[in-house]
Every structure is written in C-alpha cells, then in structure tokens.
Amino acid sequence: MTKPQIDVLYSTEAIAARVAALAGEIRDAGFRENLLVVAVLKGGFVFAADLIRALHVAGVSPEVDFMSLSSYRAGTASSGTVTVLRDLETDVTGRNVLIVDDILESGRTLAYAKTLLAERGAARVGLAVLLDKPGHRVAAIEGDFVGFTCPDLFVVGYGMDMGHAFRELPYIGHVVTAQ
C-alpha cells in the first residue's frame, strides 16, 4: 500500500488566524453570555478545542459539551440518515448554544442537531463550521460562522478523517491519491 499524497489546502497558520477571527465574530454576534459550545464528534473536536481557547482570548468563557452524530460512516459516502450516538449531558434550556463542527456539506447532520437543540429550549442556536462545502447542500441550513468556503475536494486533517486516518494532521489537506 503506497502512502497517499496529501496536498496542504489550509496551513496550520492560516487556520489559527481564521479561528482567532471567528472567535471575535462569535463574541460580537452576541453569543457571549451563558454560552454552551456543543462540539460535534468526532470531526469537530480539534476545531472546537482551538475555538474555545480563541474564545477565551476574545473574552468569552463558554461551557463545553459533546455530541456524536452519525452521518458518514467508515467510508466517504453519506448514509443519508442521522442518529444521535452520544447525547449532551447539559440542559440547553434558555442558553446560547453554539454547535461546532468540521464541515457543512449536505447539511443533514447539522440541520438535525440545530432543530433538536432548539426544540429542547435553547434561547439561540448558532452554527460554527470550519469548512463550508456548499456544492452538495440538501438541507436548508447555512453556517452562522464559517472558517473557509472549501472547494469540492475530500479533505483530511485537523480532526477530519478518511477511513479513521489523518485526524492528527495539524493542517487541512486534500488527498490526491488514496490506495
């Protein structure tokens, strides 16, 4: 098996600069008080980890909880249905909630999560995604805070995987040859 070639799309430095700017946008959009960051596992965990520290620098003190939702399984094709694999422990009633995930693509997963948390009584539900891939949108949903609008490529790194590999890369790359 040859090692796939991964071309850098967004460098560590470019990501860090954008995440810092996003934290300021989130603060200025009124998510400052009583904020619960909901990190969507697994792909959103690296972005969420950096974003909460950028929020601290921006003067915001969020609480953090985690949700695991199934959409993509072990491969690269969407299952088309959403299930909650791991739910929040936190009561979202009356809170400012910011869902944080890696990629908004079809939007099915995040539309489901947004509706669920709104129905549970969150005062406001915002959506922060590191990457927006608008080309394959199915659900009527847009990110409130978007890191980068991404070309229609399969990307890995910074929490994102291909068949469970490459989450550890400190940059976002495009897999050129995978075998």
Binding footprint of ligand IMP on the chain (CB under 6 A): 43, 71-72, 78, 101-110, 154-156, 160
Whether the CA torsion 154, 72, 102, 12 is positive or negative: it is: negative
Measuring CA to CA, which residue among 123, 163, 117, 166 is closest to residue 9? Answer: 166
Nearer of residues 58 and 145 to Mg ion, judged by Cβ: 145
- What's the closest the beta carbon of residue 6 comes to Mg ion, in angstroms? 19
Comparing CB distances to Mg ion, the nearer of 43 and 143 is 43
Binding residues for Mg ion, per CB under 5 A? Answer: 43
Dig out the tokens for 147 from the structure.
């890191």
Report helix, strand or coil for 129. Answer: strand
122, interface contact from ligand IMP, Mg ion, none, CB < 5-8 Å by kind: none
Strand order from edge to edge, sheet including 96-104: 78-86, 63-72, 35-41, 96-104, 124-132, 145-149
Residue nearer to ligand IMP on the CB measure, 71 or 96: 71
Q: Which residue is nearest to Mg ion (CB)?
A: 43
